[in-house]
Amino acid sequence: MKVKVISVLDDNYMYLVIEEHAKDAFAVDASVSKKLIEILQKENANLKAILTTHHHLDHSRDNVDLVQRFPGLHVYGADDRIRGLTHKVVHGQELKFGDINVRCLFTPCHTSGHMCYFVWEDGCPDAPALFSGDTLFVGGCGNFYEGTAEQMYKNLTETLGTLPKETKIFCGHEYTVRNLKFALKVEPDNEDVKEKLAWAKARDEDDIPTVPSSLEEEFTYNPFMRVQLQDYNNISTALTLAELHQRRQARKFPAEWTDNLSWDPVSSQKSTPTTTATPTQPSKIGTNEWCKLQNVASAALKF
């Protein structure tokens, strides 16, 4: 099984998975048909199907074009909003493409119909692959556009987190440096975060993808996968920052109040934050991530 990583748009990834004996292939999140067809021709592969993780256009916009170009092409997904959808799949359903197997894993939250795909090849010693779309990123997770923190927690710790530790993670976007900068704010002494961030920065400077990671690695540096492993001292700060961010969006506080913020628990019932920041406190760059992390950590307490 060969996985071709294809960079498209601003920071998206689409993928071509090739069964090397028959040269049959399927694409994951085929958003740019021209680029995909170029790779198909270069690999002398036959496109049989598209697996779409969710309906957002940067993951599905060229499905219809490809269906027109390749008669009989199957488009799989879990959401009726997916362009060109021909086969709707459900959690646990398995698909087969030659010797390649695909298990559909339903992960609602980023969108209500988000599906990840766990892929392995019969008789192949290579590690299995997970195409995680916008649920799990290298060092981070997706925004909760149509779901809850409880759903994301379950997605990360149960649906995906229990897969074989050697599973390779192929995500939907190149967000690694940004994610790991936030991870370092959460755990400033985590050497795995520091090493991965330095590596990712070097890759980014050379315009080289940082995918895939592995599930085992994610448990060492991804704060959203580590909520069960760490008693984050900054969670109370995250809660406060999340609340301030919401009020800021409602124009109740000036923007500078959420920059370089620290919070005094004693005065947390008052309406004025302190501004004596320490290196471990969240800053403006991570406001949304702090909101997500606080919510996921809170969700963990309910399980």
The residues that are catalytic are 54, 56, 58-59, 110, 134, 173
DSSP state of 265: G
Distance CA 256, CA 260 (A): 8
146 token code pair: 């149509």
**Residue 118, strand partner residues:** 103, 130
**Residue 12, strand partner residues:** 8, 173
Q: How many Cα neighbours within 13 Å face the side chain of 280?
A: 12
Q: Where in the chain does DSSP place strands (E)?
A: 2-8, 12-19, 24-28, 46-51, 74-77, 87-88, 94-97, 100-106, 115-121, 129-133, 136-137, 140-141, 168-171, 213-214
Closest Cα partner for 49 from 24, 22, 78? Answer: 24
Token pair 């000036």 is at which residue? 254
Neighbours of 222 (CB within 10 A): 27
Pairing of strands 12-19, 24-28: antiparallel
Q: Where in 186-240 does DSSP place strands (E)?
A: 213-214
